[in-house]
Amino acid sequence: MRFTDQVVVISGGTGGIGTAIARRLLDEGSHAVVVTGRDERRGTAAAGALGAGAHFRPQDVTDEKGWSVLLAEVVERFGRLDVLVNNAGTATDGTPQDIGSISLQSWHRLFATNLDGVLLGCRAAIEVMAAAGGGSIVNVSSTAALMSTPRFVAYGAAKAAVTQLTKSVAVHCARLGNEVRCNSVHPSLIGTDLGDDILRMFDDDVERARSTYLARVPMGALGTPTDVAAAVAYLASTDAAYVTGAQLVVGGGLGV
């Protein structure tokens, strides 16, 4: 039980990968797992399905003040923050993302959620965790950070920036000696609604797009949310006590 009595916050935790991470950390003993998201109905349902120890709080990860309010509430109610998983993200805003067509507005929208939200989460969590003796931050990036993404340039660029940000946060905290670790997980396409959104950027026929994609994956299968949850659990736990600034690829051989 690697997370016995620990307190966890997972942004974008109301479905798919986020819910799988919440389930894994609850199963490993977490005292409280707070999942956040914009959709209050969906979030309430997710927390209810997760059961005892799960809580939902509405959040827009691009709201700077909102991060401080959220973490202050978590500390006030549960006493501390041990783990933050920056999982909130989106692959598309419904507009073209190739370099010849993407608008600056679309670029800014996708960077706001996929990168700015991670920056704000890291900054707020470091302050809270350092004051309590340490903690672990896990940023969910993507294999898109590790290869060219001509069909979705904003998403790929933002996820690459998350990778670099993670390294910088890790070294910053290590040099301060505040016992806060920061690592990133890099899933390839996962069988979730977000995964289907990405496939539609290649082909309106999702099944055909999936088959084409799988031909590029050395292991020949899509990853599952539980695969990503297992990687997050390792990095967040004391099993990874000497691991910081690392990139753990969960891609079936893609992106390595």
**Residues 14, 42: contact at Cβ < 8 Å?**
yes
Q: What is the CB neighbour count within 10 angstroms for residue 113?
A: 21
155, 213, 234, 242: which one is catalytic?
Answer: 155
Query: Does the active-site annotation cover 213?
Result: no
Q: Which residue type sits at 3?
A: F
What does the alpha-carbon distance between residue 149 and residue 186 come to, in Å, rounded to a whole number? 15
Give CA torsion, residues 221, 46, 87, 126, to 10 deg. -150
Distance of CA 181 to the CA centre of its chain: 15
What does the alpha-carbon distance between residue 122 and residue 85 come to, in Å, rounded to a whole number? 9
**Residues 21, 84: contact at Cβ < 8 Å?**
no
Q: What is the CB neighbour count within 10 angstroms for residue 116?
A: 17
Q: Which residue type sits at 39?
A: D
Helix, strand, coil in percent for the chain, rounding step 5? 50, 15, 35
**Residues 141, 88: contact at Cβ < 8 Å?**
no
Strands in the chain per DSSP E: 7-11, 32-37, 54-58, 83-86, 135-140, 180-187, 247-250
CB neighbour list of residue 113: distance below 8 Å, 6 or more residues apart: 61, 62, 88, 89, 90
Cite the active site residues: 155
